[in-house]
Structure 1
């Protein structure tokens, strides 16, 4: 039997478009707010809202630990969560290459459904376009999310203060390493899977410990190192890290050693960088280690008044070195 694929007719707005939406997207995304109208009507209630949008063009579109569908939900959920916002509603837009297998599209939609259900966010509207062969690389997804900020949450990259602790919620660099291996360009065989995960529950748990959380960022493109440089610049502070305290999976460390890569600059898709007062940090880490996606959380450094705008690493032999500022493109198409 010939494989069923996406055709240009699926993107023409007629009968085939309706069938694709009904048989794939509506089948997985249906909820009381899901609409066939031009826009969803939502009841947001009172309070502050957070809104974020993100595009996903990862290559390959499936990888060990997830696929572009799971990634598209996690990415926007995590951006909202970093602002202390409970994700409520999402929209999604697909650009699909002519000839893309329909069974793979359904797998992607199913993973989006599963991930959204885990968080409790509802996909309420979307758009589908089909591009000609070669105009896009298989499938691109854009998601937009709206969330309600908790009353006790107030975070920003500008709030880091000297004396604050730097916390990561788990081992670093796994997603970037996974995508690198999935492309099979170096012939390296290593057991690494992506850390791709939705982190609203992780963030929500932090606020059961303290409201004094200054900054939360998800370490996606550019990894933890890039995020720390951004925070240092935004807040006008320095960052001092202790190399021995940074959790790195042994397989990731091995791959990085062979290729001369720094795990701090490899992408994560399920890890947060948290800046909080030093006296609150041990309790935050203890709480994080109870969580599904943060079992090896660690304090990896502190915010300093000196070396403003810089990230300094104290090595395992006691020397100090300045981490280079991120630049160029280490691993294209990781999200």
Structure 2
């Protein structure tokens, strides 16, 4: 469920972002003071230093990612919340509990202040939903035609869960592969806008923070969770191929077990796309010890963003480095890694 954004935009003496807003001078300060600092205020960010200083102990995880999605507003979200959720989820896949994020903007001259404010508000609510803080960042403005409205970079750190032992080397033959929800919805939400496709119900991006769900699962199952991955660009097929290659095992998956909503399947068929290769932003893959797989699935289905979870395959000793799919009618085929960029500017 998306949160209704109720943050009125402040009264400003400018309506669009200009090159002067990236100069480091008065206009930069106006932009930051009236927008970023006030909206995202916390003790660390309020120091307005080049970085954040804080106490930390134990095993840590760090991640960074950049977001260049087009369009910047899409059904179910926008580039702002996507940037927060994406880095939160990358940390979660390490078995970490995200805590602090940096936030950097590259803005094209001419972006409307209304759009920038809406993105900022989405960032605020995404941080509150995930329980993280923006503690440092940077803003640059480039000439019109030298960017595409706005690009965002977020980096994040967090402490690794005390029960987490997430590593590719921990995979075992017999491990079960679980997907947390319907696949391909993010990519098809973007493509349906680009291609002007219409369905009985709007396809919404699945962008969401997965950290609370992952923490609950680690609390309960700990080291029986061998690997976590989020199948973003390249989709489920590409991630499973990477896992098979790096673990030197084989992977079997079953088409009839893979959850895909009807509208998404229809959109993929219209565009000649395989849902297995389409990007996701709120789905994760978990590879778990076989004897806890059913209990893991039962628990996941009761958590946020897990009600459509399913066991879709297993790790096998045969066909090392390959992913083999059993079709709905019982045939088998090799699922190769995605070649090239199927869906450009998807995140």
Task: Please indicate the TM-score interval, normalised by the length of the shorter structure.
Answer: over 0.9
207-216 or 71-80: bigger deviation: 207-216
- For residues 1-335 of structure 1, the aligned pairs below 5 Å read 4-34=15-45, 35-44=47-56, 46-184=57-195, 187-190=196-199, 191-211=202-222, 212-335=224-347
Equivalent residue of 2:169, what SS? coil
Other-structure match for 2:10: none
Q: CA deviation at 1:228?
A: 0.5
CA–CA distance in 1 between the matches of 2:76 and 2:303? 18
168-177 or 33-42: bigger deviation: 33-42
Q: CA deviation at 1:58?
A: 0.2
Q: CA deviation at 1:76?
A: 0.3
Q: CA deviation at 1:3?
A: 7.5
CA–CA distance in 2 between the matches of 1:158 and 1:113? 37
Equivalent residue of 2:295, what SS? helix
Q: CA deviation at 1:194?
A: 0.4
Q: Structure 1, unaligned stretches of length 5 or more?
A: none
Q: Decide whether the 8 Å contact of 1:65 with 1:196 is kept in 2.
A: yes
Q: Decide whether the 8 Å contact of 2:238 with 2:337 is kept in 1.
A: yes
CA–CA distance in 2 between the matches of 1:74 and 1:270? 8
CA RMSD, 1 decimal: 1.3
CA–CA distance in 1 between the matches of 2:249 and 2:38? 49
Q: Which has the higher helix share?
A: 2
Q: TM-score, normalised by structure 1?
A: 0.97
